[in-house]
Amino acid sequence: MTAFQSHARRSVLITGASSGIGLATAHRLLDRGWRVFAAARRLEAMEPLRSRGAELLSLDLADQDSCHQLADAVSCEVGALDALVNNAGYADTGPVETMSIECARAMFEVNVFGLIGLTQMLLPPMRERRRGRIVNLSSIAGRFVTPGAGWYGASKHALEGISDALRLELQGFGVQVVLVEPGLIRTGFEAVSEVSLRQQSTDPVWGPMMRRVAASWADGFRRGSSPELVARTIASALETARPKPRYRCGKDSEALVLQRLIPTELWDALVRQRMIG
């Protein structure tokens, strides 16, 4: 057992805990004896976690008041968290040319500004105690983008950059920052995007590309990895004595290695062949 593991009743806040990776992570950490604060917009979807002992909190990352209320509630309960898992986020799809700036800005508000804003509220007690761990859920899209997901990829690139800065800044204060970069995971991502993909498929300019994108995603996610795989990765990142700065996991995450090794022109050709034709 590591020094980090030895603390009795370790506390963790998991955002986006109502489904997918967040829900699987909450169950995993409950199994391992953590005190779990589970946060999401849909409290009713987290009732199974309450029955297992999790403490449920309402959270809308796009609402500053909601973030402040959650941070105050956690502070009253535990003072400083042992760990924060920033999992909440969402994806909207569409060509860069046609996605409205309002839609793109809303995605950044949740995936970047809301996430980091909540972290800013919860971080001071961890820093003052000189112990804690922050896990930010990125994606393989945080390292490379594909057609039809440019704005989402940009939000994850931004999260990667700010996480790198945060890791360096907090290193001397005993707070460790970790990025988890899942590949294709069976979380229902493609189903959530189905409406917008269907609308875009009729666009006279971008319709053919978006139909190829939709087909590629449907095939990829159908063969994707389980959320439990990511939950195990997160648990490992939280409980090891010396976590790595980045963990990749799940289907197609090995593409992160390939993409760094081959020329950009060749990579572009491979992506175009698969997703544009």
pLDDT of residue 4: 42
d(CA 209, CA 218): 14
pLDDT of residue 223: 85
Q: Which of 11, 70, 7, 71 is nearest to 35 (CA)?
A: 11
**Is the entire prediction scored with pTM above 0.85?**
yes
- Report the run of H or E that residue 203 belongs to, with start and end: none
Domains (range + CATH), the chain = 11-275 (3.40.50.720)
- Residue 90 annotated in active site: no
- pLDDT greater than 60 at residue 41: yes
193 confidence band (pLDDT: 50, 70, 90): low
How crowded is residue 267: how many other Cβ atoms within 10 Å of its Cβ? 16
- Which tokens belong to 146? 């594909």
Q: What is the mean pLDDT of residues 115-119?
A: 98
Buried/exposed 125-158: b ≥16 CB within 10 Å, e otherwise: bbbeeebbbbbbbbbbbbbbbbbbbbbbbbbbbb
Per annotation, catalytic residue among 4, 34, 151, 152:
152
- pLDDT greater than 80 at residue 189: no
pLDDT in tens, 234-260: 999 999 999 999 999 988 888 888 888
| Low-confidence winner among 6-20, 172-186, 189-203 (lowest mean pLDDT) | 189-203
Look up residue 184 and give its amino acid.
L
pLDDT of residue 26: 98
pLDDT in tens, 126-171: 999 999 999 999 999 999 999 999 999 999 999 999 999 999 999 9
8 confidence band (pLDDT: 50, 70, 90): low
DSSP 101-154: HHHHHHHHIIIIIIHHHHHHHHHHHHHHHT-EEEEEE--GGGT---TT-HHHHH
- pLDDT greater than 90 at residue 227: yes
